[in-house]
Structure 1
């Protein structure tokens, strides 16, 4: 009788156990590789540094370092087997590495020209067909096909921007700072600090050329604002843009390859007249919060609440950071934020309260020379 009762209980509980297993399988990873890139020098950083990051505690441990020149921005292939980095030199390059996410080890594969000067940003599509490189120095956007072995082929397309804007020191010519694919990857948008424009292109990964300008090819921002980095909402309905020179965050609606301006919020306190320099922008995984960094005299990380219906932002709070808060990343579970403070030579880790939007700095700062980009890769 006891055996029969136990068997019945097991049968009743079996669907619950199966659901629990599925839930665990879909849960965010708990162990990551943290890749840190930046500016290299003989007496400083030599390339890409890799740490193990534990998302249950925020603890980190050093894994290794791989030499490459000025890896100021990098991206990781969707299957986690390859890492691609710009080499932000006068004669720009793009380097490919194989990547073992179990050990954090990187091995150099090959290097191609970035098709321009001082490449500042790189991204890869979901099919790993192409990497797209933004060359800040001379305003060129380059598409480089990815070979089946992970190596990079020479550029298949280069777009050269023209023009300038109102600031004679920063905007005499084009300066492409970043490019972002829409969530459905039917479009690629890129921000040109030098021309104060966000350009809109249709994207077809398997075609040559992969990029074709939309019928309305760009959205103009306020003269002198200097658009820098962007992020789409997960549903692709909204685009958020941080302006470097204007230190403001713009909200746009996005549909059918067109941007429609919604609102702009300042990143500086009322009455502030000092140096400002907006840098990076990201949404929390649940889309409820938006973060942005501002360098210059303030050195701050700002937190905004998002309205998922209107796309508008509401300022919540600001946090003082190390000097030159450049790039940052948000852990997929939404519990941690990791920030590279370039001029303080440190990477800081913050614990995040999802209910309140409050960030709490942890006491485990990573010392690294001139960090400019951080990426988390699942190690599970």
Structure 2
């Protein structure tokens, strides 16, 4: 009997090892005080076991990162204080070691750059300057460097909250799945700006007939995520603590749902941060900061895109910012800004519910997480 149990355990262990996949986890941070820069970990999925590989220290406040689809290049904003110029850094990634080699840097031409994304074919990056109220696109050369070719787009207007919405505050810049449009949530104006995008042009960002999608007044749109089918897009609204669902079709957005991302009768402060959909398109997750300090979990109706609340997952860390789901959909990792930690959850892919994995990942003020497959 003992022999049978032993062989069953060995078979299970070998099965897990055979299906295990290794990734590098790149972690953007705030570097105030004695905090470091970009942490690079090697992580095994599904175990969540993690090893620190390196720390990129010569960069201030690398609060948001983007990695090219081929995993060869990484771009980071340097979210400077208002009396400094924001910067954008380019790195080449080593698929064998995970380490990042500095290539070059350019000014973001706006204060407090807070978000960066890369076009489908790695021809351009798009950066949102939160305090500057503008966005910038830089062309990328074949070696991954940022060139001198750029386009700067300024937003205008304000919202109903005089303290938070006194002017435009660009909070993210997201290329659509077909690479033909750029969606830009502006917390200050309660709009998601809809731009056309043509990577072959010297000035790739253009106008569209609709121009923008109007978000509920005072809600403060922050981030958004597309469903894998490309037909639905979901916007997390920071100030309202709510989510809006939209039908997306060739540069137009039509709202079909507006739902609270907080528990019923919640009376605390609202500060929703990030939003992501599971790779299979069945579940949506949203992070809530402050007293809520949780992840909201919703199921997605496969026919209509409508969200239905599944529940809330409390967090052992403090102030969840960005989070990420691994490409296989097995793990969900949360960056806890105020507890200098990253929480690892195992995802039940049938129910969408989460269970904490007992691993200890430390990083100073982590606010952004990106997965990249590790080279063999």
Distance 1:248 1:316 in 2: 15
Distance 1:85 1:180 in 2: 15
Distance 2:62 2:124 in 1: 19
2:3 counterpart residue number: none
- Give yes or no for contact 1:176–1:191 (8 Å, CA) kept in 2: yes
1:181 counterpart = 2:172: no
Q: Deviations over 1:240-295 (max 9, x none)?
A: 00000000011000112110000011012222222110100000000000000010
Q: Report the TM-score when normalising by structure 1.
A: 0.91
2:23 counterpart residue number: 32
1:293 counterpart residue number: 287
Distance 2:28 2:349 in 1: 28
- Give yes or no for contact 1:183–1:235 (8 Å, CA) kept in 2: no
Q: Which residues in structure 2 correspond to 1:50-65 (within 5 Å)? A: 50-65=40-55
2:128 to 134, 142, 145: 134
1:76 counterpart = 2:74: no
- Give yes or no for contact 1:143–1:156 (8 Å, CA) kept in 2: yes
> Gapped runs of 5+ residues in structure 2?
1-17
- Give yes or no for contact 1:28–1:332 (8 Å, CA) kept in 2: no
Tell me the matched-pair count: 353
- Give yes or no for contact 2:65–2:116 (8 Å, CA) kept in 1: yes
1:164 counterpart = 2:158: yes
- Give yes or no for contact 1:76–1:83 (8 Å, CA) kept in 2: yes
1:308 counterpart residue number: 302
Larger Rg, first or second structure (1 or 2): 1
Distance 2:114 2:302 in 1: 30
1:85 to 76, 82, 104: 76
- Give yes or no for contact 1:39–1:69 (8 Å, CA) kept in 2: yes
2:351 counterpart residue number: 356
1:204 counterpart residue number: 198
> Gapped runs of 5+ residues in structure 1?
1-26
Distance 2:271 2:253 in 1: 24
Q: Report the TM-score when normalising by structure 2.
A: 0.92
- Root-mean-square deviation (Å): 1.3
Q: Which residues in structure 2 correspond to 1:181-330 (within 5 Å)? A: 181-321=175-315, 322-330=317-325
- Give yes or no for contact 1:233–1:283 (8 Å, CA) kept in 2: yes
| Other structure's SS at 2:268 match | coil
- Give yes or no for contact 1:144–1:153 (8 Å, CA) kept in 2: yes
1:340 to 335, 341, 348: 335
1:23 counterpart residue number: none
Distance 1:162 1:29, change over 3 A: farther
Give the Å deviation of 1:196.
0.2
Distance 2:97 2:167 in 1: 43
Distance 1:286 1:29 in 2: 19
2:7 counterpart residue number: none
- Give yes or no for contact 1:28–1:333 (8 Å, CA) kept in 2: no
- Give yes or no for contact 1:142–1:155 (8 Å, CA) kept in 2: no
Q: Deviations over 1:69-122 (max 9, x none)?
A: 110000111221111000000311000111102101111111100121100000
Give the Å deviation of 1:42.
4.1
